Amino acid sequence: MRTVGLIGGMSWESSLTYYQRINTLVKERLGGLHSARLVLYSVDFHTIEALQRRGDWDEAGRQLTDAGRALRAAGAECLLICTNTMHKVADAVETGAGVPLLHIADATGDAIRAAGLQRIGLLGTRFTMEEAFYRDRLRERHGIATIIPDAADRARVHAIIYDELCLGRLLDSSRAELLAIVDRLAAQGAQGVVLGCTELPLLLQPGDCTLPSFDTTELHARAAVAFSLDQVCA
């Protein structure tokens, strides 16, 4: 079993899910008292969120790279950034830390292709929805076209994530709003929807959406277990 390094804390609400799911999946595979070989570096999200708002992605990348180096020193043989948004600096972190990084968009793209879908709706922070780093990866590496909500819906999704989910607030009214946004994406031709923020699956459960949904936290966790147990690094 190889050791997986988690860069978490963004937010810790979803990092908890990573830890739980990776351990659960290892136990399901190996049985008995088995658990995952994990090392976790949990950053202060207050600091990272401030850098995001200022657009200081270079400094955010440096801080995550430092976390990656610490995980490598602790024995990590691959890295996961436990958030979609901070994959904007994934290449810099992988290079700077000197450890293979399992990219969340690749785990997601593999699942979308396996489902036979080519046009997918994308929900996430405004950074993930509006900037090119995530959508380009899905298109260039997996041949998947993405559809994003309109400006008003993007603003509402972003607010639900930062003002509610990252603070542990799960509101039925916000779930209903997200489901309505998914329906509007379907009307634009989306064949499925990526829950492209690791907090979104805290509110939207499998079967809630009228479209097939792709839980990026779950898919990323499964990629980590495959790396650890199957000696496969995507």
As annotated, the active-site residues are 83, 197
111, 218 in Cβ contact below 8 A? no
- R_g of the chain computed on alpha carbons: 17
Answer for the pair 22, 57: CB distance below 8 angstroms, yes or no.
no
Spacing of C-alpha 150 from chain mean position: 22
DSSP for 68-134? Answer: HHHHHHTT-SEEEESSSGGGGGHHHHHHHHTS-B--HHHHHHHHHHHTT--EEEEES-HHHHHSHHH
Nearest Cα neighbor of 164 from 172, 153, 207 is: 172
Two tokens, residue 32? 């008995």
